[in-house]
Chain A
């Protein structure tokens, strides 16, 4: 009865303070559309700048223009979905390319020397001759440079081994790890974007708690028969509802732009609901240290960003191993339930994982939720509810 009364009250308040609720609901979908706009539905296209000074040379089969051939090979390189890997742009001078690399409008500059075909031709005739050289220029701190270089080299080696009729003593096959399909870069972002929708509940849940302190209404609740369990339970139930709605909307947005999940929707929702509860528990911790909504919207941004970045919602981070147990490594960011949720969502949605495959992630989320809930409730009670 009292639980329902408070649930009804907090739900109405969330609906009437619609701005923050709407923000929580549209935050995830907004980022899905933004990321889709940037990364598209296919994998990334790398921009190559090529200074081709190569001069064709006579060869047994006619003329050998290896520089032009390589350019054609790079232009023809395709992903499995048929889209081009490279956008190839020929330029006259290296300096022009370096400027573009510096402002990151290109990923890689390739210099093909004037004697490229000549050296290749000599190598083909005399296996001990000097090998042709290609120069890759780029920003080594730019991940796109590293990836582009790998692709460029792969295409170049394939071309050279074909032209020079050299049989490579190694064959590398590529096999997608996803459930029978190739994943685009956008597909890899989707689990993190879904978790972003859950993290936004940090604000709505903490606001529901802090508002009672800020307005002094908590004193009315303290004196009434409403128990701490009913109070926190009603807020948690309401926030899980909002979070699940936000998660659903974000998922629909991902489907709308072409994302296709491989796994179980029910399992995804179960993990989402558990994770929402975990974020509510963290919001209790946050609310324990704040007294006003203003503090939440300023200081509260810090825990929000901690959750967002260290859950790898934005970009991958290096792993810091805390300890190993039974052969399993425990990483620092595993202390954040949302980091485990990103992993779980990735496994479910992209790799069709079942309940049995998620024991570590689910176990971690449950343990952390209980831990943070107990700690948060204790701190909140101590700082805002306890009679001093």
Chain B
């Protein structure tokens, strides 16, 4: 990526909490106008990184550059080029939706009329037009979440940080938010953290996966999935232990189809000719007197890549 394209550059970013290094020398750049998926398991350092990037947390090392400006503590105050939607829903319960949006606009020095116009537009865009006069505490969880996002957009920031924007949203709201965020692409740079791999895949131009505060991969979704191997994925589940009873007997098929992996009772394979290999695998199962339980053939997903990179161990 050409450095000149980057609106946000992070180099060697580090943050510690006592003995724990939550973010460990993280470096990446976000291109102007792209939707940048920032993914990782719980405790990977995503929220800490977002907080440092938007000025709510002081880094212990490294640097952050936004729109060509190297940031120092205090530089973020009143910075209109960034908007932040925190992970927690942060609203003023006894203010109406419209009042909150107008207030945030005025807190960013928008003219009163402009703030009012922006508030109206955002209420409409997030399906809250009819709730404009309602107090935030009377809204449903999904509406509160949508208002939480809208509040980050009142002052039309160049870079928008969305930390888990879709947590707790119903399917309709997810579509609405996804379409809105995708609609921003090209005009607004969006840095998005989420646990929802399907959403990340649908929304992001590029994805960065971090774990233990370190960068594991940064690429387009297609590029990351390609790292798993070309082709489709099939999974065969038997009632017996797959790694001990079946995997040794699939050795002869590897040359054609790629590498098999086994986990518990399941053997999986990513291969361009996965459909052709499948009958051969089923034949080996019969020959070994094993019992077939389930067979699945599907395209690889970002989640497959994510699990491959970060492992299956449970986090916090």
Specify the main secondary structure of chain B where it touches its partner.
loop
Residues in A with CB closer than 8 Å to B55 are: 223, 387
User: Which residue of B57, B76, B103, B135 is within 8 Å of A9 (Cβ)?
Assistant: B103
Please tell me if the beta carbons of A5 and B94 are within 8 angstroms of each other in the complex.
no
Please tell me if the beta carbons of A225 and B56 are within 8 angstroms of each other in the complex.
no
Q: Once the chains are docked, how many angstroms separate the CA of A387 from the CA of B91?
A: 21
Encoded as 1 (CB less than 8 Å from any B CB) or 0, chain A from 17 to 29 comes to: 1000000000000
Closest to B103 in A: A9
Residues in B with CB closer than 8 Å to A16 are: 94, 135
CB interface residues, B 64-113, toward A, < 8 Å? 73-74, 76-80, 82, 84, 86, 88, 90-95, 99, 103-104, 106-109, 112
Taking the complex as formed, is B151 at the interface, i.e. its CB lies under 8 A from any CB of chain A?
A: yes
Taking the complex as formed, is A220 at the interface, i.e. its CB lies under 8 A from any CB of chain B?
A: yes
Please tell me if the beta carbons of B95 and A13 are within 8 angstroms of each other in the complex.
yes
Give the contact stretch, choosing among A116-124, A127-135, A147-155, A211-219. A211-219
Closest to B102 in A: A5
Encoded as 1 (CB less than 8 Å from any B CB) or 0, chain A from 57 to 93 comes to: 0000000000000000000000000000000000000
Encoded as 1 (CB less than 8 Å from any B CB) or 0, chain A from 193 to 223 comes to: 0000000000000000000000111011111
Please tell me if the beta carbons of B104 and A216 are within 8 angstroms of each other in the complex.
no
Taking the complex as formed, is A12 at the interface, i.e. its CB lies under 8 A from any CB of chain B?
A: yes
Please tell me if the beta carbons of A225 and B108 are within 8 angstroms of each other in the complex.
yes
Name the distance in Å between B164's Cβ and chain A's nearest Cβ: 14
User: Which residue of B57, B95, B107 is within 8 Å of A225 (Cβ)?
Assistant: B107
Q: How many A-B residue pairs have CB under 8 A?
A: 76
Residues in B with CB closer than 8 Å to A1 are: 106, 109, 112
Please tell me if the beta carbons of B106 and A5 are within 8 angstroms of each other in the complex.
yes
Q: Once the chains are docked, how many angstroms separate the CA of A2 from the CA of B106?
A: 6
User: Which residue of B58, B92, B112 is within 8 Å of A215 (Cβ)?
Assistant: B92
Please tell me if the beta carbons of A223 and B90 are within 8 angstroms of each other in the complex.
no
Name the distance in Å between A233's Cβ and chain B's nearest Cβ: 14
Please tell me if the beta carbons of A223 and B94 are within 8 angstroms of each other in the complex.
no
**Known contacts A219-B56, A388-B57; A17 and B94 CB within 8 A of each other:** yes
Name the distance in Å between B141's Cβ and chain A's nearest Cβ: 16
Please tell me if the beta carbons of B77 and A225 are within 8 angstroms of each other in the complex.
yes
Specify the main secondary structure of chain A where it touches its partner.
helix
Name the distance in Å between A13's Cβ and chain B's nearest Cβ: 5
Kindly state the interface size class of chain A when it binds its partner: 20 to 34
Residues in A with CB closer than 8 Å to B93 are: 215
**Interface residues in B, total, Cβ within 8 A:** 32
Taking the complex as formed, is A171 at the interface, i.e. its CB lies under 8 A from any CB of chain B?
A: no
Taking the complex as formed, is A175 at the interface, i.e. its CB lies under 8 A from any CB of chain B?
A: no
Closest to A231 in B: B107
Q: Once the chains are docked, how many angstroms separate the CA of A1 from the CA of B104?
A: 12
Please tell me if the beta carbons of B108 and A9 are within 8 angstroms of each other in the complex.
no
**Known contacts A9-B95, A12-B94; A219 and B107 CB within 8 A of each other:** no
Q: Once the chains are docked, how many angstroms separate the CA of A9 from the CA of B95?
A: 8
Q: Once the chains are docked, how many angstroms separate the CA of A2 from the CA of B135?
A: 22
Taking the complex as formed, is A36 at the interface, i.e. its CB lies under 8 A from any CB of chain B?
A: no
Closest to A17 in B: B94
Q: Once the chains are docked, how many angstroms separate the CA of A215 from the CA of B86?
A: 12
Residues in B with CB closer than 8 Å to A221 are: 107
Please tell me if the beta carbons of A220 and B58 are within 8 angstroms of each other in the complex.
no
Residues in A with CB closer than 8 Å to B88 are: 216
Q: Once the chains are docked, how many angstroms separate the CA of A5 from the CA of B55?
A: 24
Residues in A with CB closer than 8 Å to B73 are: 387
Residues in A with CB closer than 8 Å to B91 are: 215, 217
A-B residue pairs in contact (CB < 8 Å), sample of 16: A1-B109, A5-B106, A5-B107, A9-B99, A215-B93, A216-B88, A216-B90, A220-B104, A220-B107, A222-B77, A223-B56, A223-B77, A223-B79, A224-B108, A226-B107, A387-B57
What residues of chain B have their CB less than 8 Å away from a CB belonging to chain A? 54-58, 73-74, 76-80, 82, 84, 86, 88, 90-95, 99, 103-104, 106-109, 112, 135, 151
Known contacts A8-B103, A217-B92; 12 additional CB pairs below 8 A are: A1-B109, A1-B112, A2-B106, A12-B94, A13-B92, A215-B90, A216-B86, A219-B86, A222-B56, A222-B77, A223-B82, A387-B55
The list of the 4 closest CB pairs from A to B, nearest first, reads A225-B78, A224-B107, A5-B106, A16-B94
What residues of chain A have their CB less than 8 Å away from a CB belonging to chain B? 1-2, 5-6, 8-9, 12-13, 16-17, 215-217, 219-226, 387-388
